[in-house]
Structure 1
């Protein structure tokens, strides 16, 4: 975590240095720990005679020259190369030995246990290009890149550009030399190289060459036609919406092993988490999520790659825009027309959760250095920003918004821009002053709550109607909202909208005279159509309707809004966790959107495990298991609902009878019509059985022999970490803390180690966790350190002792700001859970 770059350092460097080009030569034919990297950098200096520095992380540097003269190797301190005596025009050459990564940062190297094949790929956001080549590693110092790679003859090398010679040029000793032409001007973090004996599928659309890559052992699981279909639909949508053709020539999409995130928008060579190659049957929610990710990364080709933020303060512009654009493209151009419903249910819940943490921040965040941005890929940056952009579209008008975006692209193509540049373009086309809007929505933190307040006469007609707005004391801003208010009535068993009005909400009280005199419906829905970003509440009459009839909506979006309001009420202690579990159990079978179904099941399980009175938790898990088993056995054969129910049931099964049922599903003595107990489901069943002490090491070894892959190895590691013995937990803890696991194996292991149903085995490690995090943060890579701190925090019990241990650590000599943030977030979730447990306990009286 020591490597860093501050905003002021970046600004000072960019003021004096302008990069023209990089020529990078990589030799990937050596050993399995390092590779040779030679960088030739041409750059100008506006202050001849001054000094600057290059970024480089490498075990060794062989030689440094500047304008033909040698530079002493002591100019390299392990993180930077100091260059002084700069001329007006400069050429620096750095010959280094760089290290392969096991954490997904830089150039990650992977050996496939299924066939021994080696694959490698780069992942460089936010600050990891200098792990592969010496560079000015910041987004506003754009340049052209010309890459040359030496690789084994049976490998295929991928970069931002198509190779000059397909297959490379043969050299001596079974080595091929791959030459790639200079790229358009771009930022360091979106440059890319991948290499290995890939399985490749080719296509073309609208003159754009398309490629899909995965490793050979996954080729039989790849479904290229659906991926190509979404890709083609995305290009057609974005070409029309943005008014500029895709700017980077070919478009490759690579599904890569042990990826540390969902996907990465490298120009012309997008990388994806390999989980998107489905080895087993998945619900359509998983396919929808993959489709959204494909479109999200494609949107980045324009917003992020073609026009790039100047510094990471505007990271949200990249991610929020891509989230909005990806969801909009999915809703309008693909078969997932309900994608905004999914956004409301899943993404906005993430935003609201993040926005109520002590670490919440304005959408337009203050990012003083790289360490700050690396913990800022959060629900504010992605989901809240996208929700607010959706509001902005409504505020300026859809056509005006796209016209402003087109003007923004035209003015700043291949350059850098800021939030002010985008707002200026939107103001010009819409005629609206966005200064106040920006200050209110982008420069303040926190989420508002909107609730209806009304009175009715003896005939049930509204005599008064208003919308009340509130805010948390810590973030008291009351914002301006454009909302719709929907009136829904039950008829023939269906909840249908009978009337809707749109109104502007300002301040803490907004009257809505248009509704006075109208008949009160069965349900009043504030923020109908999901036009604003806010938590909403139902009045008691509407809540009663929702509890009995939430499955009766004739449209998916209002149902999703009601479910979201219910979940917010649970998190805020206004609804008991046990009541929410009963609400979900009683209504989930009527929900048609599988994305909503799976989100509700996950939230109900979390409510029972974390927010319910601990003395009721066992009963609550049994209640969920009983309800889910009934839903499973009644579900249509082969349906997505059936698969969702069996997975949710597996995660909560506790009784001897339910565990016996899982055992029989696993060994095949019980079969459900249409349910394939395939590889991933077998592992899920086995892990639950292992965690409850029903199966052990022999069963894990037998399952691994059936699935002798890296995914199987991770699943087996997760199962071993879940073995409910003191010895197994100790062995797992030693593996987690020795720093030798890859990032993928670490995540698989710690997720099972911190089993919420094994508190007596896990909680003794709370003190060891706090004793370890200082060294982990200082010595491990950024991604690995964050994972240890964030996932490891759940080792502590939901009790006052965990809060006390956190407070004791935080008053030590000041922890780094990013580490402090993660710990404060974990503490806040524990405190919220304790409040909600007390609320749930009171509901039982």
Structure 2
């Protein structure tokens, strides 16, 4: 990994020396399962007499020709970079090499479908992996045109950024010669190739141009692809963005491709977006998954403008790319699709992620210093995505949505096809809104940490408010007190027992205390909610009266967002060791049955697991875990037959089953002797039950193999790995640990084994692996690709060993690490912080 790094200083120096015009890339994908031919011709200008390098991760290099002169690969190529001496003012560079297929979800990933034994390829180039497919000046500010020529089996589909041309056949192979792309950054180029199947449609852009749409999946997955829903969301996104951005869709066509073993949710390749194959629902999906897919579709579509048309100069502005797409996708979903409650999901998912990330010792300002590629790799975090998007929502509340969009339209008009930095956008927003954003940017973008807001309320004997003060605090390490645009809402119980909003006040607050005169003289309501509508980024605490109301009447809110804000406040309090986790578990189990938002149910069930496994005091964690599983079973039986809630609760019950009686119920669901009305035991649910039974010691190896025989697919094989690694035996855990440490599996398979290794009822079963874990880290970090190494660092960290000993062992390893590998240090520091927080929470619960 160290040899793969690139510093910002190196990139800046190179950008001063050269300007790239075009790439011509010729690929031969018919040479077997290990390597492919990669021939690159680059035309670029340079400062005459200067020297630089081009990035090229190769298996071997046959020839290098610079301006007609052959150079010796042995002297100037090290398999990662090729040195380029004595450049002319105008240069033509040709490189003929062999490159390696990957099975890590990076570069050109090669996958063999076990169903039909067909080969499927796709690229994943963010952050810096297009150099694994062709020679390239790998940095976002050296834009160029890219022309791909690809030879592959003639029955394949071959897709790239430009429209797919008619191929020319040569025997069993064919060659596709794509037209050059627009001037784009190298990391958003793409190649997807294999016998993918496609459903086609089209739409008319705001410019009057017809844009062809393609939705692709593997042949064995195509029957499960609900194309109509995907196209509907895509059309709604086009309509919303073209109207608000003032620029028609900038590329020739728009393909969306669902690919196997993908490391992220999706990737914004220009005109050829790749998606996680989990978004192809071969079993009944939860409403949360359907909404998540819609938000992801809208997120990637927003990138076609913000990121692809206008691109950051360097990765320190990665946050703006991702935050903008995250904010806009939620806004588009809420205002132009069926998912009108998208801001509720945003709070429960994104904001909780942001609050967690912002309270880690590795927290950083939204505008983070990015010194090299290793910094970027670990910066795809809750600050970059979720906090940034939350702060953009605060900015929109501060300047106004229409004014915000007007600034964005001017930004796109001025900077199309170029690279920008943050001040370029802020200047346009200042001009459109009339607001001075210099102070806003300093507070929100250049400082770290999250504020906490509380209400200090005094009333007279008649319950009339005589004083209402908002207190704002910050932790000592990050003491910034910010200006917030927020709303305060009063909620009171009506005659039907429903909590109704009876008053709302929107205002700016600043400083450690803000007196809200507008609320003086009003009757104190049953519940006061700071940050109503979730406009600002801050943790909130409920006053005593409001907390008592929320505890008794949480289910009685008539809208989902205020209820979710209360859920989040309660969870924050547990995480901050201010209230006992056991109390939160009871609050959750008493109210989740009334929750109607699928995404909120999903998040609450995840929090239940975290609370029971990490935050509840050890002396009563086992008893409470058993009670929780029993309660989940009651809730699953009480849920509406065939409902989303029934499905989620049943899966959660299976995962938490511990006792013989609980596992008997799981066994009954699995073999059909026990039935929940209209709960279909489809393929994915059957695997969830099998994994739960395996973790409970109820399935033999032969029985696990038998489940795989009924679902011998890629997803089935990954689930098989998890079920096998979930067995509660030292032999199974040994095998799982060694498989992961050796990194011989694909990225998806390795992740599945890690999930099974950590799936234990008694954490002492894997307590003995801590020393082995620290023994393999350096080799993994220095030898494996970033994705595989990161999976090992995070996945095998002894997070279940909530003890000071775990912290001491981590500190000892960090001391031996010294100043090496700052990205590795960050990952370990974050993991240790979670253990430290769990220790504090257990103390509060005890």
* Residues 766, 796 of structure 1: 8 Å contact kept: no
Deviations, residues 419-467 of structure 1 (Å, cap 9, x unaligned): 0000011111111111110000000000000000111111111121100
- Aligned residue number for residue 163 of structure 2: 162
What is the CA-CA distance between 1:313 and the residue it aligns to?
0.2
- Aligned residue number for residue 307 of structure 2: 304
- Aligned residue number for residue 523 of structure 1: 527
After superposition, the Cα gap between the structure-2 partners of 1:444 and 1:37, relative to the gap in structure 1 and judged at 3 Å, is same
* Residues 609, 756 of structure 1: 8 Å contact kept: no
C-alpha distance in 1 between matches for 2:523 and 2:609: 38
What is the CA-CA distance between 1:624 and the residue it aligns to?
1.2
- Aligned residue number for residue 789 of structure 1: 793
TM-score relative to the length of structure 1? 0.98
C-alpha distance in 1 between matches for 2:493 and 2:800: 46
- Aligned residue number for residue 190 of structure 1: 188
SS at match of 1:454: strand
C-alpha distance in 2 between matches for 1:52 and 1:5: 13
Match of 1:202 among 192, 200, 203: 200
C-alpha distance in 1 between matches for 2:823 and 2:707: 40
* Residues 126, 188 of structure 2: 8 Å contact kept: yes
C-alpha distance in 2 between matches for 1:627 and 1:518: 41
* Residues 36, 98 of structure 2: 8 Å contact kept: yes
C-alpha distance in 1 between matches for 2:469 and 2:90: 67
- Aligned residue number for residue 65 of structure 1: 65
- Aligned residue number for residue 610 of structure 1: 614
C-alpha distance in 2 between matches for 1:267 and 1:324: 20
What is the CA-CA distance between 1:794 and the residue it aligns to?
3.6
- Aligned residue number for residue 34 of structure 1: 35
SS at match of 2:610: helix
C-alpha distance in 2 between matches for 1:215 and 1:469: 53
SS at match of 2:301: helix
Does the alignment pair 1:570 with 2:571? no
Match of 1:251 among 233, 249, 254: 254
Deviations, residues 123-179 of structure 1 (Å, cap 9, x unaligned): 0000001000001000000000010000001111000011232xx1112x3110001
C-alpha distance in 2 between matches for 1:218 and 1:738: 30
More displaced stretch, 804-813 vs 16-25: 804-813
More displaced stretch, 119-128 vs 623-632: 623-632
Does the alignment pair 1:591 with 2:595? yes
Deviations, residues 230-261 of structure 1 (Å, cap 9, x unaligned): 01111011110111111111100000000111
C-alpha distance in 2 between matches for 1:135 and 1:749: 35
Match of 2:458 among 455, 458, 461: 455
What is the CA-CA distance between 1:600 and the residue it aligns to?
1.0
Does the alignment pair 1:106 with 2:110? no
C-alpha distance in 2 between matches for 1:411 and 1:541: 53
C-alpha distance in 2 between matches for 1:432 and 1:112: 55
Deviations, residues 346-392 of structure 1 (Å, cap 9, x unaligned): 11000000000000000011000000010000000000000100111
* Residues 470, 514 of structure 2: 8 Å contact kept: yes
C-alpha distance in 1 between matches for 2:606 and 2:759: 15
C-alpha distance in 1 between matches for 2:353 and 2:117: 39
Deviations, residues 5-63 of structure 1 (Å, cap 9, x unaligned): 10010000001100000000000001101000000000001x20110100010110010
* Residues 763, 795 of structure 1: 8 Å contact kept: no
Match of 1:484 among 487, 491, 498: 487
Match of 2:322 among 315, 319, 324: 319
Deviations, residues 660-715 of structure 1 (Å, cap 9, x unaligned): 00000000011111110111111111111111111121210110010011111111
* Residues 614, 800 of structure 2: 8 Å contact kept: no
Does the alignment pair 1:89 with 2:90? yes
- Aligned residue number for residue 232 of structure 2: 229
* Residues 403, 433 of structure 2: 8 Å contact kept: yes
* Residues 762, 795 of structure 1: 8 Å contact kept: no
Where do 5+ consecutive residues of structure 2 fail to align? 205-209
C-alpha distance in 1 between matches for 2:24 and 2:688: 48
SS at match of 2:827: helix
- Aligned residue number for residue 207 of structure 2: none
What is the CA-CA distance between 1:755 and the residue it aligns to?
2.2
4+ runs deviating over 6 angstroms = none
* Residues 307, 416 of structure 1: 8 Å contact kept: yes
What is the CA-CA distance between 1:504 and the residue it aligns to?
1.7
C-alpha distance in 1 between matches for 2:486 and 2:404: 19
C-alpha distance in 2 between matches for 1:507 and 1:704: 60
What is the CA-CA distance between 1:786 and the residue it aligns to?
0.9
More displaced stretch, 312-321 vs 620-629: 620-629
* Residues 658, 761 of structure 2: 8 Å contact kept: no
C-alpha distance in 1 between matches for 2:812 and 2:302: 45
Superposed, which structure 2 residues align to 1:623-702 within 5 Å?
Answer: 623-702=627-706
Does the alignment pair 1:9 with 2:40? no
Superposed, which structure 2 residues align to 1:834-845 within 5 Å?
Answer: 834-841=839-846
* Residues 159, 192 of structure 1: 8 Å contact kept: yes
Deviations, residues 542-569 of structure 1 (Å, cap 9, x unaligned): 1111111011111111111111111101
SS at match of 1:245: coil
After superposition, the Cα gap between the structure-2 partners of 1:526 and 1:105, relative to the gap in structure 1 and judged at 3 Å, is same
What is the CA-CA distance between 1:756 and the residue it aligns to?
4.5
* Residues 799, 835 of structure 2: 8 Å contact kept: no
C-alpha distance in 1 between matches for 2:159 and 2:712: 28
Match of 1:710 among 696, 704, 714: 714
After superposition, the Cα gap between the structure-2 partners of 1:293 and 1:354, relative to the gap in structure 1 and judged at 3 Å, is same
Deviations, residues 288-307 of structure 1 (Å, cap 9, x unaligned): 00000000000000000000
- Aligned residue number for residue 404 of structure 1: 407
After superposition, the Cα gap between the structure-2 partners of 1:724 and 1:230, relative to the gap in structure 1 and judged at 3 Å, is same
Match of 2:738 among 725, 734, 738: 734
Does the alignment pair 1:52 with 2:52? yes
C-alpha distance in 2 between matches for 1:716 and 1:99: 28
Match of 1:349 among 342, 347, 352: 352
- Aligned residue number for residue 543 of structure 1: 547
Does the alignment pair 1:291 with 2:289? no
C-alpha distance in 2 between matches for 1:75 and 1:598: 53
* Residues 766, 795 of structure 1: 8 Å contact kept: no
C-alpha distance in 2 between matches for 1:458 and 1:562: 27
- Aligned residue number for residue 556 of structure 1: 560
Does the alignment pair 1:419 with 2:428? no
SS at match of 2:738: helix
SS at match of 2:712: coil
* Residues 263, 270 of structure 1: 8 Å contact kept: yes
* Residues 799, 831 of structure 2: 8 Å contact kept: no
More displaced stretch, 508-517 vs 414-423: 508-517
Output the aligned Cα RMSD.
Answer: 0.9
* Residues 482, 511 of structure 2: 8 Å contact kept: yes
What is the CA-CA distance between 1:617 and the residue it aligns to?
1.0
- Aligned residue number for residue 826 of structure 2: 821
C-alpha distance in 1 between matches for 2:523 and 2:752: 55
* Residues 726, 760 of structure 2: 8 Å contact kept: no
SS at match of 1:77: coil
C-alpha distance in 1 between matches for 2:316 and 2:266: 21
C-alpha distance in 1 between matches for 2:404 and 2:309: 18
C-alpha distance in 2 between matches for 1:380 and 1:40: 39
C-alpha distance in 2 between matches for 1:333 and 1:487: 29
What is the CA-CA distance between 1:503 and the residue it aligns to?
2.1
C-alpha distance in 2 between matches for 1:68 and 1:138: 26
